[in-house]
Amino acid sequence: MKPEIKPDAVVERMVFLARQLGNKAGDERRSQDFVASLSERIAARRTRDARRRQVAALAVLAAACLGPLLWLGFHAEHQLSYRISDASLADGNIVGQEHTSVAFSDGSRFTLTNGAHARISELTAHGARVDLADGEVSVDIVKAPGNAWYVQAGPYQVHVIGTAFDVRWRKAQSRIEVDLHRGSVVVTGPRIAGQLRMDPGQRLISVPDAPAVITPIASGASTTPTAPSASSAQVTASDLPKVAPDLGDAAPIADLSGAALERHDPTAAGTANWSRLVAQGDFERVLAAAQKRGLDSVLAAGTQSELAALADAARYARNTQLARRALLTERKRFPGAAAARGAAFFLGGIEADGSAAALGWYETYLAESPGGPYAPQALGRRMMIVHRRDGVAASAPLAREYLKRFAQGPYASAAHKILERSSE
């Protein structure tokens, strides 16, 4: 290995050689200038070399520090966002109105029915967890790799991959219904052994003190919801709730009280009574049993629970004529019963949307049951019909009454809009 030659030694050697060329003063000065110039160049080169080494070291350090951050930046997953339309809030819950929806940034959508209470409890890059406290929500999820969507309804959990379905949770009855229209879901909860996977076209019903059952979705059942119309600052037909035919959105599908579970002629519909069949979603079986016994006979001599179950089965099966006959008969034969008073509300629901007949039945229900369970719905629908038929001035008093009685009710938003417009 050759010894390293130092720059200072090189300079001294060159000076020595220069002196050997002559002893004149000019030569001495030239040699001094040469040495000074050469020393400056060597010092400058050392400085440049040192700076290059520092820059290289800093580059290596920066790459080591920033590399993971840059990798994360390129691979970061953005959390989904969402927008709520036409809803009110109460105790942290989204309260469903007529056109309430939650639209997520990936194109998925949740639609709440009137009076439904839900909240978004968790949001990720692959989905969300929605807690359904009470009521019904329709779900349409865009299928994507890694999807993680959940609907929590009381003790039940519906795990969604990419699908369209409806969930109805009746908190007071601890009752859940799931209608699957597209895709697949997995349901877990009480009275379900392990995980229950549903196929399209199936309905799951689970109630206390009975095993969970799977039945086909009845013909005419609700389908995937369509996108709601945009809201408006003014009160118009597009931004206020419409009075739709009542199909049980404000009430349980069947009365599961003790009276409703009494057995009357169980052979007419197998081993279960009609109320239980309705609770299981087997509406066609109830209608077939009534036809077999004779509709006139059932209407004339059937018990109150049988008439109520027949009316419910007919409403859900979209047999409006039979539902009307059963409800009118129930009111006539059992005028003092609470269920008979409630029949007035359902009669209003099956009449033509916004008709005088529907208005009359809602007014009848409010007169007979001003504090009844369907009063928020009945007064709200009455307000909307009057608004459409007679305008803002006529509906404003009903709007004030509604907000006074039901400040968080399903038609509170519409009442506020009517009053805002009436003050213009």
Mean pLDDT of 127-153: 87
- pLDDT at residue 165 is higher than 80: yes
Q: Which pLDDT belongs to residue 198? A: 83
Instruction: State residue 28's pLDDT score.
Output: 55
Residue of 71, 103, 63, 67 lying closest to 86 (CA atoms): 103
Q: Which CATH architecture describes the domain 293-422?
A: Alpha Horseshoe (1.25)
pLDDT of the residue at 403: 92
Q: Highest-confidence range of 50-54, 103-107, 138-142, by mean pLDDT?
A: 138-142
User: Higher model confidence: residue 402 or residue 31?
Assistant: 402
With a cut of 80, say whether residue 256 has pLDDT above it: no
Higher pLDDT, 314 or 228: 314
pLDDT confidence tier of residue 304, bands split at 50, 70 and 90? confident
**What's the pLDDT score for residue 56?**
63
Tokens read off for 373: 């369970």
Q: Taking 90 as the threshold, does the pLDDT of residue 62 lie above it?
A: no
Same fold, 82-216 and 293-422: no
Q: What is the pLDDT of residue 265?
A: 42
pLDDT for the residue 326: 94
Q: Comparing 245 with 196, which gets the higher pLDDT? A: 196
Q: Which fold has domain 82-216?
A: Jelly Rolls (2.60.120)
**What pLDDT band is residue 324 in, cutting at 50, 70 and 90?**
very high
| Confidence at residue 372, expressed as pLDDT on a 0 to 100 scale | 83
Residues 124-132: what's their mean pLDDT? 87
Give the residue extent of every domain in the chain. Answer: 7-75, 82-216, 293-422
Q: What is the pLDDT of residue 316?
A: 77
Q: Residues 367-394: pLDDT tens digits?
A: 998 888 788 888 999 999 999 999 999 9
Q: Are 383 and 241 in contact (CB under 8 A)?
A: no
Please tell me the distance from the alpha carbon of residue 424 to that of residue 371, in angstroms, as a whole number: 32
pLDDT at 251 over 50: no
User: What is the model's pLDDT at position 406?
Assistant: 85
For residue 243, what pLDDT is reported?
38
Confidence of residue 416 (pLDDT cuts 50, 70, 90): very high
Average pLDDT (348-357) is 87
Q: How confident is the model at residue 191 (pLDDT cuts 50, 70, 90)?
A: confident
**Where residue 238 falls among pLDDT bands split at 50, 70, 90?**
very low
pLDDT of residue 42: 57
Whether residue 190 is predicted with pLDDT greater than 50 in this model: the reply is yes
| Confidence at residue 275, expressed as pLDDT on a 0 to 100 scale | 77
**Is the pLDDT higher at 282 or at 49?**
282
Task: Judge whether residue 142 has pLDDT over 90.
Answer: no
